[in-house]
Structure 1
Amino acid sequence: MTKQANVPHVLVFDSGVGGLSVYQHIQQLIPAASLSYLSDNGGFPYGEKSDQVLICRCLHVIEHYLQNAVTQPDVIVIACNTASTLALPQLRQRLRQPIVGVVPAVKPAAALSANNYIGLLATPGTIYRDYTRNLIREFARHCHVVTSGSTQLVHLAEKKLCGEAVSEAQLAACLEKFIAASPANPHPDAMDCLVLACTHFPLLSEEISRLLGPEVKLLDSGEAIARRVAYWLDELGFNLSDVDQTPSAHAYFTQSSKRLDKLEAGLRHYGLLSYSVLTSLLPVGKQ
């Protein structure tokens, strides 16, 4: 296959700003790629939606973007654990592009844990879905797994990117199940790995590490997703070492909001110097 020298285009999708933790890994591994970040802030947060509403919402927003995009993406990344556990089959059936989803890093955590004692931090929906239970059963059967679902952490991550201070008291309350002894967590000091199974949570890695201590390793899926994107671009015939154009970066949102002005500095940190709001997006799946 003759390799293409043009710039590949990758779309990264999430309900909020959490997907920027994945976006950053793709940007670092594949600097030659043009990146678009699509945030469905009009449907945020996804973790509080019913399964069917969430599936419809993801399909609607992504298809609306594709219908209006000047340049079609070559690979689409669903940088949202909640959406990945539900909408990937439907997206792969309806779209021509390779779709890369997020898988909670249960397998590497179980392999890395010296004490066979790990934590899994996600949104409540991800914690209780069969998909996550099956991951634990398949890859961490030999481990004691402490799980905790939090929507408050998602909001704390959003606030941080807007430049607001993260409350240590609120953060500690969100991590209480990992800190305090309980029937579900009889030996808190034994936990040596924590899976961040929501793409928002790596944005709070520094704060979480300060609270839990350096002996607890934090694992997320960002690097693995970036490698998968690179794999697909290679399969599609892109020569990433000989790109003859300058890559671009742009953010899209589904709803205009005063909060977007507060996000500008946070977006610039990831190289997103401009953003726009998708127009004519019908309010599907708002309930």
Structure 2
Amino acid sequence: MPAAPAPTSPARPSGKNALPPVSSRASRSPVPEAARAKPPIGVFDSGVGGLSILKSLRAELPHEDFVYVADSGFAPYGERDEGFVVARARTITRHLLREPQLAIQALVIACNTATAAAIHLLRQDQPDLPIIGVEPALKPAIALSQTRRIGVMATRGTLNSQKFKALLAGLADQAQFICQPCDGLADAIERNDTAAINELGRQYTGAMGQFGTQAGDIDTLVLGCTHYPFASEQLQPLVGSGVRLVDNGEPVARQTRRMLARLSSDSAPGQCLLFSTGDPAILQTAARHWLGLGVPVKRLRI
């Protein structure tokens, strides 16, 4: 995955949707001393899919605290219009910055669709906040592919975004990319609907063409939505054991480490707070199953 650019400081957009910049922690609401000593990293996604990014972040930064927001009450983002996604991204960012118990030091947008729609606006809104996004791991896939035919599974919102189209155009001379919109797949993963995951996975991989390791085959498959790594066990048999599945969790975690102003000096394991705008039980079950996290999930009404 290409390294995310450092936050820039362009003129802040005007209008009611723009967020006031946070130039220092002193300008926020008062924060308890413990929170100031170890501010958490905020992570959000449209649902449980961003847990795949959180898993990599916790492995890379084991002593940092994290706050994860699953916007399940407004999911899926991939089938929403861009304005809706931008509004939700701004609402969540505002909450993570202004809530005294949170007061994040950095933000990871653990959603390809939200990154494509909103990251440039969030960086304008908050020029002093490190903001890390995700995008389909096309560059890592090129490094792995031998046949130079690479499949990309993603949401329709990601594939139709100008950000993704620019990324694709810049790499078009290095490989052939077969892009497949996967309507409903993220939602099926969100619901842990195994039958639907299998059926949709079969439908979408079948539409992409021949997978394999011979010349002309698709030998690398990019999982271009943070939900999709949690369907790897269902997708791998559909494409064959010789096909590499590539996601962006580890590159995002490394980029987050690079962008942090300072790392926690605490030797104790970091803690996680989990919030959901939808059914807390869905996130709690997913976090326990995929990350081994037994922490309670709080309902968030924003």
TM-score relative to the length of structure 1: 0.83
Unmatched segments (≥5 aa) in structure 2: 1-35
Change (3 A) 1:170 1:121: closer
Match of 1:184 in 2: none
Match of 1:127 in 2: 159
SS in 1 for 2:41: strand
1:79 Cα deviation from its structure 2 partner: 0.5
Match of 1:253 in 2: 276
- Identity among equivalent positions (%) equals 31
Following the alignment from structure 2 to structure 1, what is the Cα–Cα distance between the partners of residues 138 and 202?
Answer: 23
CA RMSD of aligned residues (A): 2.2
Letter in 2 for 1:203: F
Match of 1:223 in 2: 250
- Correspondence for 2:180 among 137, 144, 148: 148
1:159 Cα deviation from its structure 2 partner: 2.1
Match of 2:201 in 1: 171
Residues 81 and 104 in structure 1, CA contact (< 8 A), matched pair in contact too: yes
Letter in 2 for 1:91: L
By relative contact order (CA 8 Å, sep 6+), the higher-ranking structure is: 1
Change (3 A) 1:46 1:245: same
1:225 Cα deviation from its structure 2 partner: 0.5
Residues 75 and 99 in structure 1, CA contact (< 8 A), matched pair in contact too: yes
Q: How many residues align?
A: 261
Match of 1:285 in 2: none
Change (3 A) 1:77 1:263: closer
CA deviation vs aligned residue, 1:9-67 (integer Å, no higher than 9, x gap): 11111011110010000011111011111111121111121112211221022213332
Letter in 1 for 2:67: S
2:217 aligned with 1:190:
yes
Unmatched segments (≥5 aa) in structure 1: 182-186, 282-287
Change (3 A) 1:28 1:244: closer
Match of 2:111 in 1: 80
Letter in 2 for 1:275: V
Match of 1:274 in 2: 296
- Correspondence for 2:284 among 260, 264, 269: 264
Letter in 2 for 1:267: A
Q: Bigger shift: 20-29 or 55-64?
A: 55-64
SS in 2 for 1:17: coil
Residues 115 and 133 in structure 2, CA contact (< 8 A), matched pair in contact too: yes
